[in-house]
Structure 1
Amino acid sequence: MTHDSTSATGPAAGEGPKPGGTGPLAGHTVSRIGYGAMQLRRLHDDRKAAIALLRRAMELGVDHVDTAQFYGDGLVNELIREGLGGQEDVLVVTKIGCDPNPEGPFPMRPAQRPEQLRASVEDNLRALGLEQLPVVNLRRLDRTSRLRAEGDQVVDLDDQLAVMTAMRDEGKIGAIGLSSVTSDALRRAIPVGIACVQNEYSLLNREDEDLLDMCADEGIAWIPFFPLGGAVPGTSKVTDDPAIRAAAKSLNRTPAQVGLAWLLHHAANVLLIPGTADPSHLEANLDAGTIILDTATLAAIAEAHPRPTETALAFR
């Protein structure tokens, strides 16, 4: 990862054990627990605290960070550039497919057209101070959600992959990932070379188990977002489930830690990017990688199940 000459030098990622062990991502070996930087936007009034949080994550062994230019209208990328600038051993993963929309009802808007994808890559390069983005995830809008592709934003996947592979050939992108994709889209994309998939997935939301298995078979990293559920009002939260809470009590851990530990145990290709703006939560998230779930505990956790409500179903 090469930064431009204006980047400051931050602390190197910790030399001790990696949180959760290690796994492959885009030809690199990284800690299985990384850091999802979206929550840094909550520290917009305290840049010093945001920088300190990033650097603390690196001190604890985190060596991959997930971001996007539409997080905080570019603020999060600026913080990453300032906090981690100059490090060769931290893999920055960003995503495109949406643009910031700070004045709108939702903080991002679709940006799916090929020329918009290219512009988003340039925006990320500039904000992060990089000559190449190590991994870029294409966020598709195939699924029913609060953010829909309509009109000229309905773009064929092949057209998007064409511009992304062109940017990879040009050296602007190191590797290509996908986000919020269907199994059909993943099958179509595999021939171009896919490094990772980011889909919503947790112990209580395993609808994409077939995609996870496909990724495992193809050597693709599976990086779940909303790994503890509760993404929208009315959806089940892993931390509220009685089976999870009982297991956490028996292990003297928090329900969140058990939910994250289950993901690491569930499949070897899982990498996690839990996000937080709180230093104590950061350390707790990373410590989840030390939890051993024995057969009896895994069987007890298997009793957990989602309990969707009418509110949740409205968002499907």
Structure 2
Amino acid sequence: MKQTGRLDSQAAVAPRDQPATGKVLTAPAAPAATATLPVVRGERPARRSRWPAPLVLLRPRQWVKNVFVLIVPLAVAPAALLRHLAPALTTAAAFTAASSAVYVFNDWIDRDQDRLHPTKRHRPLASGEVGPLGALALGVGCLATACAAGGLLPKGVQAAVAGYAVLNLAYCLALKRYPLVDVTTVSVGFVLRAVAGCLAVAAPFDPILIMCVYCTCLLMSLGKRRHELATASRPGQAMARRPALTGYSLALLDQLTAVLLAATLISYELFVLFAPYPHAAVLAVVTMPFSVFALCRYTQLVSLHRSGGEPGRDVLTDPQLAVNALLWLACLAVGRLV
């Protein structure tokens, strides 16, 4: 009787279309859109921006990266930069428009995947604030702006801007899926900015400084990959969001970081040591503590404080790095004037 009662109670709660096998059918899983998204450790909660959605889609917070167009000529030939400030600013504007177009197309391609991400789901395309056709029109407009700005610049700068756009579109379509290729592509984009800045103001080309720029940007790109791996709440989560992470591990990234720390420091010291300053050797020694501290502090932020998700923001908002940078620049300025 007890067994019969248990079977009767099962039949009472079973679906009407239950098969004769006696197995209870489970309810279908909830749609992915209503599922609770996992929380990523160390990742700041997303906040809706007060800016218009189309402007957010252009990622104005990332435009600071284009300052490399001005920084490298300033370090090599500040007088040339002042004489040709208009072409330099036009070059920066061209790269800003080209990079914004890349961001739009990247979000357009990844809009379905971004909807499953705890923070990227708030992006204008993923959230539906901007439609796919409107986003494509905005991206094409940015490319047209970059071409118009490039038309006012020397052919070498035009080639650098065009190469940047093509390389990064290839990154959005395929290259970002391959380990090491992804971070190399991002770093080459910064090198193209630096080279274009020198060409725009007719500044001398300094290969050691360009190598320093490349190593620094590669170091930060690897720091971002480490952040994504370290803050994933469960194994495989980070790989699902960024397929290239299958080729990385925390141990590998730490080893690569150590190599790039040394390469960045050596290339910087060589640049200062062989610069055409009256006291270049003294300046190289005096500024060495600042360069070492900056690299060590960045490594500390990435390894211990789970930072590195947005390298530009992390570097600009850290008080210790900010004070170190001010003192560093002051020493460089005094060394140039003495």
If the length of structure 2 is used for normalisation, what is the TM-score?
0.25
Q: Which has the larger radius of gyration?
A: 2
Greater helix proportion: 2
Greater strand proportion: 1
If the length of structure 1 is used for normalisation, what is the TM-score?
0.26
